[in-house]
A and B are shown apart, each in its own frame.
Chain A
Amino acid sequence: MAAVGPRARTSRLVTRDLGDELLVYDLERHKAYCLNQVAMQVFRHCDGETTIPDMALRIGNALGMPVDEQAVRLGLVRLEKAHLLDSAVAQILYTSRREMLRTLGRAAVVVGPLVTAITVPTSAQAASGCLPVGSPCTGPGQCCRPFSCNNSIGNPGMKTCGGS
């Protein structure tokens, strides 16, 4: 029987649950992602059985806040883009995507399922322990040369590695 709901990829993925986010490493493509709570819940409920409306209900219960179907669809699109879903769900997503595009802005404002790529440092950076440009930092000497730890533009109180 064909799956009625989207199914998450399970093979060649390494995951690490940090409580409020999920780190995922894709051993096929050698990419790493950070899923926020909503995206993590969407990913977890992609068992091939749960439909999108059911998913929205269950995720809302798990998070203790209303989550609408559009947010789930947005999460699925982002998971699919990161190749974290089985290709068998492409059709489910395709029919949903047109609808999703119409309501993308509204859903994104309500709940934001985020799938963020993690920058994998090079061996040289890891060995030196320095932070690459754009990384949050707290003091001098943490950033890879020639960058320095400066106040972040638009984020008062936050510092990031950037031009000196």
Chain B
Amino acid sequence: MRRLLGRWLVTGELPPAPDEPLASLLVEVAREQGLAGLLHEAISEQRVRWPDAARLALRRAEQEDFAFGVRQLDTASRIQDLLGARGVRCLPLKGVALAERLYDSVAHRPMADVDLLVLDEWPRAVTLLEKAGFAEQGQADHARAFLDPASGIVLELHRGVTSCARLFPLDLDAAWRRSRAGAGLVKRVPSSEDLLVHLSLHAAFQHGLALRLVQYLDFRRLLEREPPDPALLAQVAVGASAQGAVALAFEAAHAVVAAPLSPALQELVTAWSPSGLRGYVASRLRADPSALLAPAEPALARLRWQLATGRRIALIRETLSPSLPTFARSAGFGRLGRALGLARRWFLPTVRSLGARPQK
């Protein structure tokens, strides 16, 4: 099903007149992959005959994604105002930065939560949110999740784009200078070059390339509609030590949804592709790009290890004991427990990936 939806994104051809079981499965997978609204629009525009139950389910999904998405963007806007009024700058990440920019409707770019990157005093931003009534839901080394009791929206307040954020140092002042006014509810959005680097780090390092289809579509639309300046993209990526992540994410987006790579970008991808992953990624992309899609289990440890070439001691240190003050320093059994948890989550899929052959 994921492959069918991926093919539709590339060719524009919907599966013709599916029977009810197939349509039902497609709807389910379209929701999982964040494509229900886009699929509903395509079916309506192309006047394809689909079973009524499936059409209705897609219509309902689009309505809910619209209402939920507007509420999320409004929450992002209010927080930008709240923090901005007290001199704390923040920029949206991922879906919040893209929904109004690349999609006709917020319903076409559903997101689980609102991601905002704080550029200034992090502790102050956290205090301001808590004073405004936001309740903490959880934390990682690079972000804290809050629930807005008024809207029921979950906000992730980031101080880094990924875990182990110190491996990928971002020039936040430069990112702010390059940012621009948003087109709708969101007040300010990052430049195309910054966004591509953020998305690539998130895709490759955070999720081991296991993204939803709509997240791969983000790459394609950004590259199509706001082609980056290759020199500036290179400057931002090199500054953040994110060349490997950019190369992997661009290569995967090209294979999964035909994201366009200009000769200049192709040159960067070739130069930056991590040598230790070339064979692994190429064989998987050749065999079946849709096998990368979430909820696939990525070989996260392997990808992180290769993406941190030259900084592996820092990777181990930051993984076992994050240095950012959002995470309480763990010691003794706490550190051991964290190490065992990470091993179960990352290393087992990696070990499996070493033994498994890509599907033909």
| Interface membership of B66, Cβ < 8 A | yes
Partner of A138, one of B41, B53, B68, B154: B53
Task: Evaluate contact between A126 and B110: CB separation under 8 angstroms.
Answer: yes
Given that A18-B62, A123-B113 are known contacts, is A157 also in contact with B53, CB under 8 Å in the complex?
A: yes
State the CA gap A139–B18 with chains docked (Å).
15
**What is the number of residues of chain A that contact chain B, defined by CB distance less than 8 Å?**
30
Secondary structure of the B contact surface, majority rule: helix
Given that A14-B185, A138-B23, A138-B57 are known contacts, is A25 also in contact with B64, CB under 8 Å in the complex?
A: no
Interface positions, chain A 13-68, Cβ under 8 Å from B, are 14, 16, 18-19, 23, 25, 27, 30, 32, 34
Task: Evaluate contact between A129 and B32: CB separation under 8 angstroms.
Answer: yes
Secondary structure of the A contact surface, majority rule: loop
Smallest CB gap from B154: residue in A? A123
Of A71-79, A90-98, A114-122, the one contacting chain B is: A114-122
Name, among B64, B74, B113, the residue most crowded by chain A CB atoms within 10 Å (CB to CB). Answer: B64
Name, among A137, A138, A139, A141, the residue most crowded by chain B CB atoms within 10 Å (CB to CB). Answer: A138
| Interface membership of B314, Cβ < 8 A | no
| B64: chain A residues within 8 A (beta carbon) | 118-121, 126
Name, among B25, B44, B53, B185, the residue most crowded by chain A CB atoms within 10 Å (CB to CB). Answer: B53
**What is the number of residues of chain B that contact chain A, defined by CB distance less than 8 Å?**
41
A/B pair count, beta carbons within 8 Å:
95
| A158: chain B residues within 8 A (beta carbon) | 52-53, 56
A-B contact pairs, 15 of them (CB 8 A): A23-B63, A23-B67, A27-B74, A30-B74, A32-B63, A32-B67, A32-B70, A34-B63, A118-B66, A122-B152, A126-B68, A137-B57, A142-B57, A158-B52, A159-B53
Task: Please name the 5 residue pairs, one residue from A and one from B, whose CB atoms are nearest each other, closest first.
Answer: A138-B24, A32-B67, A25-B70, A127-B112, A123-B154
Interface residues of B (CB under 8 A from A): 20-21, 23-25, 27-28, 31-32, 41, 44, 51-54, 56-57, 59-60, 62-64, 66-68, 70-71, 74, 105-107, 110, 112-113, 147, 151-154, 184-185
